[in-house]
Structures are given as C-alpha cells and as structure tokens.
Chain A
C-alpha cells in the first residue's frame, strides 16, 4: 500500500444457513456472501449490508444493536452469541452463521425466542408472589443494599436464549427449562419480596425437566453474553431442591 493511512480491508466470506419454513419450496442450505470488511464492522453492520446490497430476502433480528435487548442471538461459527456486538475483526475471514437451535425457526437467522421465553415465564411464574398489598403513598419497604445488588446481578438476564442453545440437555430434551429458567428461580428465591417457599419452587423445577435435568455441561455459563453466574446459581437451586426432596 503506497497511500498513507489507507488500510487493506479483508474480503470476508459469510456463510449463512438459509431456510424459510413459510415457503414450501425452500430447503435448508448454506449460502455464502462475499463482503468487504470495514473498520469497526460488527455482524449487525455486515448483515444489513448484505441485505441491502445482495439479498433483500435475508431474515434476521436486531433491535437495540447495542447488546442489551437479546434479540440477535445466533450461532457464530457454531457458538451462540450476540451478533450485534461481535466485531468481525475478532473472527476469521470465513464466518458461518446459523439460527439458534431449540427455538422455533422463523426464517434464516430469525428464531422465536420470545415465544419460548414467555412459555418459560408462565411455567416458572417469574414474578413476585405476595399477598401483601402495598400502599403506594407510603415509604417503600427497606432492603439491604447488598441484597439489592445481588438480586440485580441475577436480574440482568436478557433472555437472549444463548444459554439454551448452548445446552446439550436442552437440545436433547425439549421440555428442559434451561439455565435461563433455573437462574430465574434463583433470582426470585433470594428476593424477600417473593413469599414463595422452597416447597413452591420445588413444584416448579423439582424434576428432570427442571433443575435435576441439568447435567452440568456448563455451555450455558460459558456463552452467556451477560456473564451471569449460571454455574453457581444452578448449583444453588439444586442444593435447595435436593434438600427439599429429602424432607
């Protein structure tokens, strides 16, 4: 390169698993798109460019494009991750993208994590259970600052589904709640505002589709984009539930 400051951009090859279940003629296949890399290119930028310039039918989901909403989980070179915050410079020249498994496929890279998560929330009743009425005019109940932070730590899950897609158990057994679900139980369990007892939680996750189904593969823990302490939380819930089961 003779010109000062001009950078040589790599020529990327992005292979995408294409399939549109809406279309009876569609068959799953890999399609490769060439793309010139740009500075600071994320997969969000790359995919949009492909859609704008090469194939208008390509389906994928982005919302916040800032790594906080959990919409853009996909398999990036085989591993679940958030596409919007993946810089292409951290990947090789050949990149493979595929939709997250386990979830219902909408088309190409777009999957219905929302439906799965809602079902999970309904099943695990992921809300505060109490029958103490609050008077909104009165001062709030106190909480130890440390405890509030601990709850938030577990509340940070964005329901992206990466942990589910990374879990061998979830792939083999459709009804497994996944790390995301077990983490929710841990979150509500340590929250004193939720009046459910261990016995109640046992009803929700005390079986092989629940916490006892987890085989400690820890794929969930290792891919979680929010770095939630899934390993320790699953262990925590397991200990509590086993204690419950021994009574």
Chain B
C-alpha cells in the first residue's frame, strides 16, 4: 500500500481546484492536485460565453456595481441562495477578473467610439466612452440588468483555464493526471484524504492530507442529453455522499440550457442570444416575446428552456429526423460578427451539424447543463459535518446559485470560490485544528475495502451490464426528472432508479483486467452515479413547489411558506437505496433582499410570513440612512465583509468609483 502525504489534497483540476491549490501553495502549503484528465482538458475549458463581474466599463454596463450583481444573482436563484455568500461572491468577482487579467487572460477590451450591436432584434449604434478605452469590456447575458459578462471572444473558459493551469505550473504544483479519487478516508468526523485509483495502471494509492478539497465539477452525465463533458459524472460529490456524513445540498436543482444543438446536446453559447440571436419555431415565428414580453430570449435559463419545451409540446416545434426542436437564428448578426465573436459556435455547427450559422438556422433544444447542487459547505467551503473536507466550484453548494444560476456566474464562482476557499484552507492548515493523527490501520482499512470492491467487480459472476444500466439511468433522468416534473413521473423514476441501484450490485464484466479498463470504470462509477441520480429525483419528488430550475407542473407556484429551505441529502447506510433528506431553513430575517418577484416568469408565489416583516425592517433602515452611501446601507442590511478572507476584502475600483 503506497501512501502519499501532503498538506492539501485537491481533487479536481478545473478552475476551482487549480485556484484553490494556488491559494494554498502561495501561503506556503504543499498541495497535490488529482485529475481524471490533464487539467487543461477539464470542462471549465468549455465555458464559451463569459464570466460575470461588475466592472461597469462597457457603456451598457455603466452604473453596474456589486449591488446590481447581487440583486440579479439572488433573483436568479429564486431566493434559494445564501445571500451572504452571494455578497462575498459579487465583491470578489471583479478582483478575480483582474487577477486573471494580470495572469494573462486576453479579456476583450472596450474600443472607444461607435459600435453597431443587435439588441432585441434591432441593429443599434452604441458609443463607448473614451475614458473606458482599453479596459475590460462585457457582453449581455441572460438574467442580468447590466452588460456584465467579461469574455475572450467565445473561448472564455479556455483562456481562463489555460492561464490558471499555467499559474499552477509556475507555482510548481504537481498534478497527478489520470487518477481518480474513489473514496474519502475519514473516521466519521474528520476527513483525512482519499483512496485514489491510477486510471492507467489500476493501482490504488492512499493520499493523506490535512485538508481535502473536492473540486470535481458537475454531474451532468447522469442525464442522457447534456452539454457536459463525458467525465462530468459527479464522482467528487458521490464520494462525499458515500462517507455517510457529508451532505449534498439542493441536488434537485438542475439547470437546463436552452441551446444545446439538436440532437448531440453540444452547447452553443448564451452569447448567441446575448449578442442578439433569436429563437424561432417551426413556422419561423419568434415566439419568446409571446411568453416573456419583457426579457424575451434573455429571460433566465430556466424560463427560456421551459418556454421552449412548452412551445414544442404545443405542437409548434420544428420537426427533424431525430425529433422536435426549435431554431436558433444568428444570421441577423452578420457573417463578420459570427466569424469573429462566435467562432466556436460556427465551428460546432460546421463540424457537428454541417451547417453554416451565418446563413442557416441552427436546430436547438434544451439540454441538462449545470448542477446547482453539490457538497454542502459553509461560507469557508468546509463541510458542516465532516471536518477537513472542503469543496468549491460546481461540485460544491456553499450556495450562491440557489435554484438557478445565471449564465456567466459559474466560471466566476469557480475562480472566486477557489480564491476564498484556498485562503480558508490555508488558514485551516495553519491552525492546530488541522493536525492529524491517524492510524495506518484506518488507512489500510479503507484501502482494503476499495481494493476488495474492485476485485469483487472483476471476479463477479453477475449478469448485469454496466453500460445498459447507465444508459437506462440517463434516459430516465432525461425523461422523468427533466425540465417539467410531476409527482407521478418522479415517483416512477425514483422506483426504477432504486431497482437499477440494486441491479448495479450484480454487474458482471466482459473484460476482467484491473489496469486501465474502461468497463470497470463504468461499473464502479455507475453505482455511485445512481446514488446521485436518486438524490436528484427523490429531492425533486419531495419538493412540492416550483423554484428556479426545479419546476413541478403539479405545484407550479413557488412556495416560500413551506419550501424556503435547502435540501440536505446524506447516505448513511451503504446498502440504502434512498438518500436521507433533511432540510435547512433559510432565514428571511437576515436577508438583504427578501423574497419577491424575479422580474420574469410567473408572478404568483406563496409568501413566507416573515417576508413582510423583513421588508418593513429594510424600509426603516433605508429611510434612517437616506443620506448614507450604498456601502453603509448595505452594511446595515446585512454584514458580510468580515466573512471574507482579509486578502480579498475591500472595495472595487471603477471608472465612477475611484479608490484613493
């Protein structure tokens, strides 16, 4: 049994994991990153559209600041978010963009003078300020009041990930590529590291660390139709769940992106609509204004996705060989714009559909896109129940997205969370709390347990086919736990998923080799994925309301009275077939922005009794501080700055808000 010791074990080499590792490393701690693939291949690279940060440089972003970003994010979350975390986030996002700028990300810049853009299907001329020339510019994205999404053409995630990964290399942080954490080592109260499988040799190694950080991204692959990479199978969340101690938060909150190309599910960026692209139905009619007269194509993702599906159900979809879809029209943007600013989109259409988006319509249909849920942590990124276990990025739920995250808020979150959690991890490592005394017996126990599990799969005489089970799970999730949810369909899904979970304990392999063996990988992962799928489906079944991306046709209203709470799923018994659900209330009386109408989508919801009281309080505070600046008012409503690591405290400079 090989053991590797380090201060910080980071599981995941995407934006979040890399940034957290860099943070810890810069504070003098040793960090090792594990990744299924070379870090630059992580799915963060796929983010095309951009990263939100309220710099307010572009003319259409003028007047933007943390307050506006905060409101957009909280509304977007349908009030599911932890508002203090959102505040921490919006305050750090500009710093994150600026740090990345210093690290070489070639953010697109403001060009002074006139520029033609398409807004709402109309060509209009806007004039950028002289004073902003050369500063980082922004584009429009769904669900935001201001143009706030910083970007590098349409390869934002790529440029960010490469700059970040190169920083990790500059800091000599080792990345153990093609390794997979398959279990966390813990004693029920404290996490000590992980058992890690080398995907090439098949060898199992124990990694022991003061702090273990899960940054493994989303779990989109529990769905069949998804924009996610094939490695996004949620293994980080799953191994946290399998501790039986750590909890997963809001797993039923799954986002669907309106524009996955049909049928492959490959994403074309929201930037298409942000830049002025339209959605057309089978009759080439622009249907979004009929449903959402105000925000139209740029309402938040959940709303647009739902309207598209609704329209297709009403028989208005375009019919293609593989089924029904609607059209995305970016021809109006003109070839020059498409080839320069939406080049990846053009490539995707060309390579995967054989069409030219500058002249042809693009077939699209919503696809699973983002998992708001993940390992539940507090604002420092540490699990509330398993000490020494941290999480950040899409894999985590420190909860800044609530039930729906805004486009561009995710890559921003990965970096911001990486920065913040990286500091807290370093603080933790610097404190005596982090000292570990662990018997090699315990490590051996975990190692042997995992080794035995793999041996059992290889020697199994079982008859179930791992691929078949996996595909059935994916189909079920897409058809029954998708955009429109009903009690019956969810119940059916939960039942069958449980059956599949039981079947998955009887998988037999055709290829019985321990070293690099793709079938073996599918076999042990599908057992874990089914648990995640059950958390999603069961959580969705229990949540008898609609909130953000979670939409119950049988309970179409948001219900703050009964459901303004976060779902916590745990898996205490290894042989359980259902997660144990608990709920954590959100405290309206501490909210800076009490629940209300989001500004788009349905306007009817059931109020929480505290809402009115809090609203009144807020009015009072605001009145009493009428002459104070926005920082003072904010501070009086909800303090947050003390929660941030010192390094990231402080205001952000803008053209209109120069710091002395």
Contact present between A and B (CB < 8 A): yes
A residues bordering B, Cβ < 8 Å?
20, 22-23, 39-40, 42, 51-52, 56-59, 61-71, 85-87, 106-107, 110, 112-115, 117-118, 121-122, 125-128, 130, 134, 136-145, 148-149, 151-152, 155-156, 158-159, 188, 191, 193-194
A152 contacts which chain B residues (CB < 8 A)?
A: 106, 108, 152-153, 155, 159
Distance of A233 from chain B, by nearest CB (Å): 15
Q: Say yes or no: is B158 at the interface (Cβ < 8 Å to chain A).
A: yes
- Classify the secondary structure of B's interface with A: loop
A136 to B347, CA, bound (A): 35
A125 to B351, CA, bound (A): 33
- Nearest A residue to B510, CB-CB: A56
Interface pairs A-B: 4 shortest CB-CB: A114-B38, A142-B134, A136-B95, A85-B351
A58 contacts which chain B residues (CB < 8 A)?
A: 518
A71 to B517, CA, bound (A): 18
A122 to B168, CA, bound (A): 11
Q: Which of A71, A121, A142 contacts B169 (CB 8 A)?
A: A121
Distance of A60 from chain B, by nearest CB (Å): 8
Q: Which of A39, A51, A68, A118 contacts B38 (CB 8 A)?
A: A118
- Nearest A residue to B165, CB-CB: A121
Is A66 touching B37 in the complex (CB atoms < 8 A)?
A: no
B654 contacts which chain A residues (CB < 8 A)?
A: 139
A-B contact number at CB 8 A: 204
Q: Say yes or no: is B472 at the interface (Cβ < 8 Å to chain A).
A: no
Is A57 touching B109 in the complex (CB atoms < 8 A)?
A: no
Is A149 touching B166 in the complex (CB atoms < 8 A)?
A: no
- 29 residue pairs of the A-B complex, CB under 8 angstroms, read A39-B322, A56-B510, A59-B518, A61-B37, A63-B43, A67-B348, A69-B37, A69-B41, A69-B43, A69-B45, A70-B41, A106-B178, A106-B516, A115-B38, A121-B166, A136-B648, A137-B653, A139-B98, A140-B55, A140-B102, A141-B101, A141-B102, A142-B109, A142-B133, A142-B134, A145-B109, A149-B106, A155-B158, A158-B158
A86 contacts which chain B residues (CB < 8 A)?
A: 351
- Nearest A residue to B105, CB-CB: A155
* Per-residue contact bits, chain B 310-333, to A (CB 8 Å; 1 contact, 0 not): 000000000001100000000000
* Per-residue contact bits, chain B 186-202, to A (CB 8 Å; 1 contact, 0 not): 00000000000000110
B652 contacts which chain A residues (CB < 8 A)?
A: 137
Is A42 touching B352 in the complex (CB atoms < 8 A)?
A: yes
A193 to B100, CA, bound (A): 12
Is B267 touching A66 in the complex (CB atoms < 8 A)?
A: yes
Distance of A102 from chain B, by nearest CB (Å): 16
Most chain A CB atoms below 10 A, which of B107, B264, B351 = B351
- Nearest B residue to A60, CB-CB: B518
B residues bordering A, Cβ < 8 Å?
37-43, 45-46, 55, 95, 97-99, 101-104, 106-111, 133-137, 152-153, 155, 158-159, 162-163, 166-167, 169-170, 175, 177-178, 200-201, 229-231, 263-264, 266-267, 321-322, 344, 347-348, 351-354, 467, 509-511, 513, 515-519, 648, 650-655, 659
A130 contacts which chain B residues (CB < 8 A)?
A: 102
A59 to B648, CA, bound (A): 45
A174 to B461, CA, bound (A): 46
Is B229 touching A65 in the complex (CB atoms < 8 A)?
A: yes
Q: Which of B95, B231, B515, B518 contacts A63 (CB 8 A)?
A: B231
Is B348 touching A148 in the complex (CB atoms < 8 A)?
A: no
- Nearest A residue to B263, CB-CB: A40
Most chain B CB atoms below 10 A, which of A59, A64, A128, A188 = A64
A140 to B321, CA, bound (A): 50
Is A57 touching B513 in the complex (CB atoms < 8 A)?
A: yes
Q: Which of B104, B650, B653 contacts A128 (CB 8 A)?
A: B104
Is A69 touching B229 in the complex (CB atoms < 8 A)?
A: yes
Is A148 touching B230 in the complex (CB atoms < 8 A)?
A: no
A59 contacts which chain B residues (CB < 8 A)?
A: 516, 518
Distance of A224 from chain B, by nearest CB (Å): 13
Distance of B35 from chain A, by nearest CB (Å): 9
A14 to B513, CA, bound (A): 24
B98 contacts which chain A residues (CB < 8 A)?
A: 134, 136, 138-140
B266 contacts which chain A residues (CB < 8 A)?
A: 65-66
Given contacts A114-B38, A137-B659, contact A156 B229 (CB under 8 A): no
